[in-house]
Amino acid sequence: MTGQQAQGTPHDADQSRALWMSTIAFTVCFAVWTIFSIIGVRIKDELGLTETQFGLLVGTPILTGSLVRLVLGIWTDRFGGRLVYTATMLTAAIATVLLGFATTYTQMLIAALGVGIAGGSFAVGVAYVSRFYPAGKQGTALGIFGVGNVGAAVTKFVAPFVLLAWGWQSVAFLWAAALVVMAAVFWFTTADDPVIKQRRITGAEPKSFIAELAPLKDIRVWRFALYYFFAFGAFVALALWLPRYLIGVYGFSLATAGMIGAAYSVPASIFRAYGGYLSDRIGARSVMYWMFGVSAIATLLLSFPPTHSIMKGINGDVAFHFEIAPVAFIAIIFVLGFFMSLGKAAVYKHIPMYYPGNVGAVGGLVGMIGGLGGFVLPIAFGALNDLTGLWTSCFMLLFAICVGSLVWMHLSIRQMERTSSRPGASSGSYASVAAAE
C-alpha cells in the first residue's frame, strides 16, 4: 500500500495540477541546472580558463545537484513537496542572480554550487507527485514528470541567442527570473499532498531522519541506484560528450555537433513518459530487460574502433576495413538514447512500490547516484581517451556497466524466484514484487 493510497484518493484537479506544474517546474530547473553548457564557453574565453578549470566549472552544478537530492528528498517526505519545491527554486534563483554578478573564477564556482540546487528538484518532484497517484498509475505519472529533462535542450536552443544578443550575464538573470516566476506559479496553483494534509488533521509527527534513512541499508536500493547510474547518468554524460566525440571522430563542425547533441537530448527526455506508461502496462522488470539488452548491443557495436587489417589470402593479400559511418552512428546513438529513456522511468516505477513510505529518501539516493554518473562518466571518458588512445573507449566502459547491471538484475530476480518457491514462503509477497519489477 502506498502512502497515497493510505490517505485516500486526492481530488482530480489537485492531482493533475501537481503533475503538470511539477513537470513544468522541473523543466525550468533542468534548464538552469545545465546553464553552464552554454555560458561556460564564453566564460572560459573571458577568464582564459584551462580545460581543467572549465571542466570543473561546468561539472560543479551537476555534482552539487546530485549530492543534494538525498536531503531534499527526505525534506519532501517530512515537510511536503509544495513547500520544498518552492524553496528549492527560490534558492537556486538567488544563486543564479549572484552568478550574473560574479567576476572571478572563485566567485563563479561558489555561485555554481548554488545553481546546482536546481538539479535537486528531481527528488522533490518524485516524492511529491507519487503521493497523488495509486500504484498502477505511478509509472506513467513519474514518467511524464521526468520529461522535464528536456530543459537541457531548452538551454542549448535558447541560451545561445540570448548570449549573443545581450551577453552571458543576461542568460543568468533571465533564467533566474524564470525560476522566481515558476516558484510563484507553483505555490499558488498546487496543493499539499494527501500525506501532509492528513498529518495536519491527525497531528501526526513525520518520521525521524534515522527512520527516513533506514531503507538505505537494503542492498536492493543500491541495485536500483546502479540501474539509474546507467540509464540517467550515462544519458547525461553522452549529452555532454557527444559534440566532442562527433568533432573528434567525424570532423563535424561545432554547430553541427551541438545540434545533434541537442536533438539527442529531446527524444531521450520525451520518451521517458512512454517508459512510465510501459512500466504500468507490462511491468518495470520487462522494460528494464529491454533497456539493458538493447543498450548492451548498441554499446558493443559502438565500442569497435575503426579497423583496417590485411589478411593473407589464397591469391594474395585481402584488405579488410571496418568503420561505423556517421549516419549509422547517429542512428545507433538515438536508439540507445530511446531505450535509456524508457529505463529511466522503469527504475523509478520500482521505488514507490517497494518503499511507499520512504520515496523521498530512496528516490533521493537513486537520483543522487544517477546524477553523479553525469559528473563522473565524462571525466572517465576523457581519462580513457588518454590511456587507450581510442575514441570508442567511452562505449567500452558503458558496455561493461550495462552488462554488469543486467547480470546483477537477472541474478537477483532468479534469487527472488527461488526464495518464493520454497515451502512456507509468502506467494503474495513475491507476486507484489513481480508486479513492480
Average pLDDT estimate for 311-329: 79
Adjacent-strand bridge partners of 313: 316
What CA–CA distances, in Å, run from 77 to 104, 203, 251?
Answer: 38, 16, 49
Band (pLDDT 50/70/90 cuts) for residue 4 is: very low
Band (pLDDT 50/70/90 cuts) for residue 422 is: low
- Three-class SS of residue 318? strand
User: How many Å apart are CA 372 and CA 294, to the nearest integer?
Assistant: 23
Give residue 142's pLDDT: 84
Sole residue written with cell 557495436:
301
Task: Give buried/exposed letters for 275-307 (b at 16+ CB in 10 A, else e).
Answer: bbbbbbeebbbebbbbbbebbbbbbebbbebee
What pTM does this model have?
Answer: 0.75
Q: What are the tens digits of pLDDT across the range 98-130?
A: 999 999 999 999 999 999 999 999 889 988 998
CB proximity list for 197: less than 8 A, separation 6 or greater:
7, 191
- 433, pLDDT greater than 80: no
- 429, pLDDT greater than 60: no
Sole residue written with cell 573571458:
46
* Number of domains the chain contains: 1
CA 170 to chain centre: 27
Give residue 206's pLDDT: 66
Give residue 432's pLDDT: 46
Average pLDDT estimate for 358-378: 82
Average pLDDT estimate for 252-281: 79
Which one of 29-43, 103-117, 377-391, 423-437 scores highest in mean pLDDT? Answer: 103-117
Q: Which three cell numbers stand for residue 14?
A: 489537485
Q: What are the tens digits of pLDDT across the range 161-185?
A: 888 889 999 999 999 999 999 999 9
Give residue 252's pLDDT: 83
Average pLDDT estimate for 255-267: 76
Name the more confident of 48 and 417. Answer: 48
Helices (H) and strands (E) in the chain, counts: 22, 2
Give residue 71's pLDDT: 87
Of the candidates 155, 10, 25, 43, the residue with the CA atom closest to the CA atom of residue 86 = 25
268 neighbors 333 (Cβ within 8 angstroms): no
User: How many Å apart are CA 245 and CA 377, to the nearest integer?
Assistant: 14
Give residue 300's pLDDT: 96
Give the CATH number, domain containing residue 149: 1.20.1250.20
Give residue 376's pLDDT: 85
- 14, pLDDT greater than 80: yes
Average pLDDT estimate for 89-105: 95
| % of the chain with per-residue pLDDT over 90 | 33
Band (pLDDT 50/70/90 cuts) for residue 209 is: low
Mean pLDDT across the chain: 84
- 254, pLDDT greater than 70: no
- 339, pLDDT greater than 50: yes
Sole residue written with cell 555532454:
240
Give residue 182's pLDDT: 97
CB proximity list for 89: less than 8 A, separation 6 or greater:
25, 28, 29, 118, 121, 179, 180, 182, 183, 186
Give residue 421's pLDDT: 65
Domain that holds residue 110: 3-436
Give residue 207's pLDDT: 64
Q: Which three cell numbers stand for residue 7?
A: 490517505
Count CB-CB contacts under 10 A for residue 28: 25
| % of the chain with per-residue pLDDT over 70 | 89
CB proximity list for 400: less than 8 A, separation 6 or greater:
none
Cα separation of the two ends of the chain: 16
Q: Which three cell numbers stand for residue 409?
A: 538484475
Give residue 272's pLDDT: 79
User: How many Å apart are CA 141 and CA 144, to the nearest integer?
Assistant: 5
374 neighbors 240 (Cβ within 8 angstroms): yes
Range with the lowest mean pLDDT among 250-264, 270-284, 384-398? 250-264
Average pLDDT estimate for 31-48: 86
Give residue 40's pLDDT: 84
Name the more confident of 5 and 19. Answer: 19
CA 138 to chain centre: 17
Average pLDDT estimate for 192-219: 75
Which one of 11-20, 51-60, 163-172 scores highest in mean pLDDT? Answer: 163-172
